[in-house]
Chains A and B, each alone.
Chain A
Amino acid sequence: MSQSHRIDGGQIDRSRTFRFRFDGVGYNGHPGDTLASALLANGVRLMGRSFKYHRPRGPMTAGSEEPNALVELRTGARQEPNTRATVAELFDGMRAQSQNRWPSLRFDALSVNDRLNTFFTAGFYYKTFMWPAAFWEKVYEPIIRRAAGLGSLSAKHDPDVYDKGFLHCDLLVIGAGPAGLMATLTAGRAGLRVILADEDFRMGGRLNAETFTIGDQSGAGWAEATVAELASLPNVRLMPRTTVIGAFDHGVYGAVERVADHLPEPAPGQPRQILWRIYAGRTVLAGGATERPIAFPDNDRPGILLAGALRAYANRWGVAVGKRVAVFTNNDDGWRTAHDLAAKGIEVVAVIDPREDGPEAGSLRAIRGGEVVATKGRLGLTEITVRSGKGRLETLRVEALGVSGGWNPNVNITSHHRSRPVWDEDIAAFVPGAGGPPGLMAAGAAAGRLSTHGALASGQAAALEVAEALGKQATADTLPQAEDAPVNIRPLWQVAKEGRAWIDQQNDVTVKDVKLAHQENFTSVEHLKRYTTLGMATDQGKTGNVLGLAIMAELTGRSIPETGTTIYRPPYTPVAMGALAGRSRGREFKPFRLTPSHKWATEQGAVFVEVGMWLRAQWFPRPGETHWRQSVDREVLQTRKSVGICDVTTLGKIDIQGTDAGAFLNRVYANTFATLPVGKCRYGLMLREDGIVYDDGTTARMGENEYVMTTTTANAVGVFRHLEYCRQCLWPDMDVQIISTTEAWAQFSVAGPNARNLLEKIVDQDISDAAFPYMGAGNVTVCGGLRARLFRISFSGELAYEIAVPTRYGDALIRRLVAEGKEFDAVVYGTEALGVMRVEKGHVAGNELNGQTTALNMGLGKMVSKKKDSIGMVLSQREGMVTEDGLRLVGVKPVKPDGKLEAGSHFLPIGARPVLANDGGWLTSKVYSPHLGCDIALGYLKGGTDKIGQRMRAVNLLTGLDTEVEIVSPHFFDPEGERLRG
């Protein structure tokens, strides 16, 4: 199709043509185009439907503030909804679809909402869908979501990758317009490390959209030359396509770089976007300004644009949005549009200026004191009706109308720390207020310096100030000549006329809605926003906010400063969820930790389970085993019958040394450690200061002042942090040194009646019961000389040891253990069998140490020594935590041998109703015990010790379980502990 509206000039590469499709229709464009500029060049003004009324809409702006021209970009898994056509950089083969319309953009069935607009006023949802409550989730919300909405998701996995990164600089400059470029140039020449970030793909800001000159160059030419010089400075990093999304504390800024959004798809391994965290010594915000509209009836038709956007399309992209245009402006800047378009040969029908004293019109027709009072054109503007100062109505046939209500400095980022912008009467706009992010200053239009000279001067001044603050010498070079026109504006917010006049086009907020909010007393700006949705959604009110609050000010009779403004928060523009996630998705959500036997276990076909970051073997299926229980039962039975091997490396290991190490352990464990002899280990119970059990494990005394503590896998990091807290904050003079050795040693449990027989083939020293008794610990060597540690401890209730070697030998050791174990039919078991055996033995683990339970609950109350101070000792004695009828650890068996149990079930007396008043506690852990041939469980039961032998019910209302159980001792297996001392 021909580019019917393409005119001369602009910064596009006409030597190359891109083909693209919008709603299935093919068009041509050029490198340098945005989707919006290319569509406009092809005479396409209609690009979307509005959120609520489904009104036909075209672009209103030429930048990231766009409220209307939102499209679904790309297809398939890369489809992205709510993409602003005004900033989507065109590439060859681009596919875009309009959204929020059915069946087509030109004919949208839900545009019936527009006819029903009297119902869909502010607060409509609040008032209408209130009753019955259950209807909200099931009926109203699905309907509303379908009808009122933006684009749709592909619901497929995003095939692209996103990176995160970290940058450091002396000075971050946000925005590469005249102020930002001059600031960067000044600081860059002075040798500061500068990052210049701009959301556009072409640096230069408004200079690219204007016909101003700077010195003897065009503005765009000056920008290009300046960018080229900056690119040659090694201390300056230019980041186009990079939006600074927020100012965080202490000079940390977030920025999204769109690395590959201008390509059909990223190169292999290339990220689509990068979320940068920028550490900036100082920051200059040179984010420019955003033009605001005027509210007049039907001011939302395709073809009605902001005046600055209209000339941007002509000047930067060589596009005439319409061949006959008019301009409606309350300020002198709007006249630039008329002059620029006329100079390009576009027919400018009239400039409508509500002021009587606007600038000289020259050859243009001025309608002074005039206002636009009506527009026509169902799918695009065809005519406007103008009321002159004398009250005469006149209809003008136009294809486009440029509207300027003045310019709002882009103060957004200055208010990210809750600084409130202040009203500047001279330019009739909010400018940055006090209390912005420390180290940040605004320059150029963002600071209210709206002329080109003002931008250059304030950019330079800001950089000089930064250089001085950082102790660097910067020179104030003579600024090039540039326009310095004053801001001449007479605020006009709305045209007083019946009809719907839009304030916030994205959310379909009209003057009528603001009036309704006022009528219903939602007059504060914060209420106005929430009641009408003014300023919400993807554009966050960049064009509509000030207009809305100014109209509220008029209604209430207050001034704009009295009315105030809502403030902005990050992000400046929408951020893809993928960019926030970075690499942390799917299998890469977090790193994995692999055990030393991982390679061997993989060879055996082990099934793995994630335990925190660890991948642990859960069970080892053998040929013919079709159900996990077969594998687990076999592993348990074989361990108890002969010997089993299990990788227990994941348990936290902490080396504790120093002359006060024993005293320190006495403080951090509830039970006594000072009396532990060298060469022995002991079970330790660690409390929190509030008296609740925190962690447990065995700690061995390896030498006079050397201990090895083990922690649970889950708490390894937390316990280490806690120990550091105790030694640094509580007892700073104790001579204790600690370091983690979890990863340094590969540790295997060898358990079962043949454990010693197997280990005697491995360990070089005498490990007979006499030489290495129960709870013994020491340094040994294995396999003829490899240094190792041996601990005679048992989690399974069997005769058991844990043997540790340097991690690099872990793989070799398990292979050796398996080989040497063949004569005993040794089995390797996983975490499931480990769990079964510990429940059979009545040992507590994570399910019992759940952060709510005390030593007394676990039946370990006697372990808490009151003869010494230890963390949690005092508060574990609190009333309520020591009641006789409190929760106690019990064992549970189903009355019927084939009865099923479930962890999480609650104890209820037989015949009692399942209500809280009858709740007796809950089942914590449940396993099938192959030893007993039935389900067994541990649980906490109120007054449980006295209920051993009684019958109760285990009830789970979620799954429907209600079964009779017998309360038994938690020690299902070898209650006297004869086996482990064997």
Chain B
Amino acid sequence: MLIPHPILGPRDAQEFVYLGDAALIDRPDGMTAGVEEFHDYLYQRDNPAGVHRELWYHEQGDRSWLVVTRDTVTHEILGAELARDVARARGRSK
């Protein structure tokens, strides 16, 4: 598999470590959210046959975490963004 790195162009998936659903970015605030909310955040994941947004880490590369949009049926990759940009766009800061 090749992952279209937004900075470095196509890179072999061998260089990456896979984490999972990009919904992990939406971590609740531990000071306000309770066990239920964290439980859902951590365990209640969609597992679509189709388009999936997921986190990949370019460990043997530039150490960027990416959000890769991939069709889990065809393995077609529809795009890749820096996870940091995605996180900011989703309102995360410090």
Contact = CB atoms under 8 A, between A and B. Distances in A.
A878 B35 contact: yes
B59 A249 contact: no
Contact of A730 (B31, B63, B92): B92
Contacts of B19: 725
A869 B29 contact: yes
B35 A874 contact: yes
B33 A874 contact: yes
Interface string B1-43: 1100000001011000101000011011111011100110010
Interface string A720-748: 01001100111111100000000000000
Nearest to A733: B93
Contacts of A868: 31
Nearest to B86: A729
A734 B94 contact: yes
Nearest to B22: A729
A729 B35 contact: no
A580 to B, nearest CB: 15
B29 to A, nearest CB: 6
Nearest to A660: B94
Interface centre among B33, B57, B85 (most CB of A within 10 A): B57
A731 B55 CA distance: 15
A673 B2 CA distance: 40
Contacts of B31: 868-869
A663 B94 contact: yes
Interface string B55-94: 1010100011100000000111100001111011000111
Contacts of A690: 42
A734 B92 CA distance: 10
A802 B87 CA distance: 39
B91 to A, nearest CB: 10
A728 B87 contact: yes
Contacts of A660: 94
Interface string A440-459: 00000000000000000000
A413 interface: no
A870 B59 CA distance: 24
A248 interface: yes
Nearest to B58: A724
A347 interface: no
Given A250-B1, A724-B57, A725-B19, A731 B34 contact: no
Given A250-B1, A869-B29, A728 B83 contact: yes
Contact of A252 (B1, B33, B57): B1
A686 interface: no
B93 A729 contact: no
Nearest to A878: B35
B9 to A, nearest CB: 12
A729 B24 contact: yes
B35 A875 contact: yes
Contacts of A248: 1
Contact of A729 (B1, B12, B84): B84
A502 to B, nearest CB: 38
Nearest to A664: B94
Contact of B38 (A721, A725, A732, A875): A875
A732 B42 contact: no
Given A725-B19, A875-B35, A875-B38, A249 B1 contact: yes
Contacts, number: 87
B68 to A, nearest CB: 12
A730 B57 contact: no
A721 B87 contact: no
A689 interface: yes
B30 A728 contact: no
Nearest to B63: A724
Given A660-B94, A721-B17, A728 B75 contact: no
Given A249-B75, A873-B30, A732 B64 contact: no
A877 interface: yes
Contact of B94 (A252, A724, A733): A733
Given A873-B30, A874-B34, A731 B2 contact: no
B29 A729 contact: no
A943 interface: no
B65 to A, nearest CB: 4
Interface centre among B33, B55, B83 (most CB of A within 10 A): B83
Interface string A651-672: 0000000001001000000000
Interface in A73-118: none
Interface centre among A660, A663, A874 (most CB of B within 10 A): A874
A733 B88 contact: yes
A251 interface: yes
A332 to B, nearest CB: 40
Nearest to A248: B1
Given A721-B57, A873-B30, A875-B35, A729 B65 contact: yes
Contacts of B88: 732-733
Given A690-B42, A730-B25, A731-B92, A725 B65 contact: yes
Nearest to A873: B30
B51 to A, nearest CB: 16
A417 B76 CA distance: 11
Nearest to B89: A732
Contacts of A730: 25, 27, 87, 92
Interface string A865-881: 00011100111011100
Contacts of B24: 729
Interface centre among B30, B42, B74 (most CB of A within 10 A): B30
A728 B65 contact: yes
Nearest to B74: A417
Contact of B93 (A249, A724, A725, A732): A732
Interface in A758-780: none
Contact of A869 (B30, B34, B39, B77): B30
B94 A731 contact: yes
Interface string A840-872: 000000000000000000000000000011100
Contacts of B25: 729-730
Nearest to B39: A875
A337 to B, nearest CB: 43
Nearest to A250: B2
Interface centre among B29, B65, B74, B76 (most CB of A within 10 A): B65
Nearest to A879: B35
Nearest to B32: A869
A917 to B, nearest CB: 29
Contact of B2 (A251, A873, A875, A877): A251
A689 B75 CA distance: 29
Contacts of A417: 74
B87 to A, nearest CB: 4
Contacts of B92: 729-733
Nearest to A277: B12
A729 B93 CA distance: 10
Interface in A165-214: none
A769 to B, nearest CB: 39
Contacts of A878: 35, 39
Contacts of B12: 252, 279
Contacts of A875: 35, 38-39, 42
A826 B94 CA distance: 49
Contacts of A250: 1-2, 10, 75, 77
Contacts of B76: 438
Closest 7 CB pairs of A and B: A869-B30, A250-B2, A733-B93, A249-B1, A732-B84, A728-B65, A732-B87
Interface of B: 1-2, 10, 12-13, 17, 19, 24-25, 27-31, 33-35, 38-39, 42, 55, 57, 59, 63-65, 74-77, 82-85, 87-88, 92-94
Given A729-B55, A734-B94, 10 more contacts: A250-B1, A250-B10, A689-B38, A690-B42, A724-B57, A730-B25, A732-B88, A874-B30, A874-B35, A879-B35
16 contacts: A248-B1, A252-B2, A690-B42, A721-B59, A724-B63, A730-B27, A730-B87, A731-B93, A731-B94, A732-B92, A733-B88, A874-B35, A874-B38, A875-B39, A878-B35, A879-B35
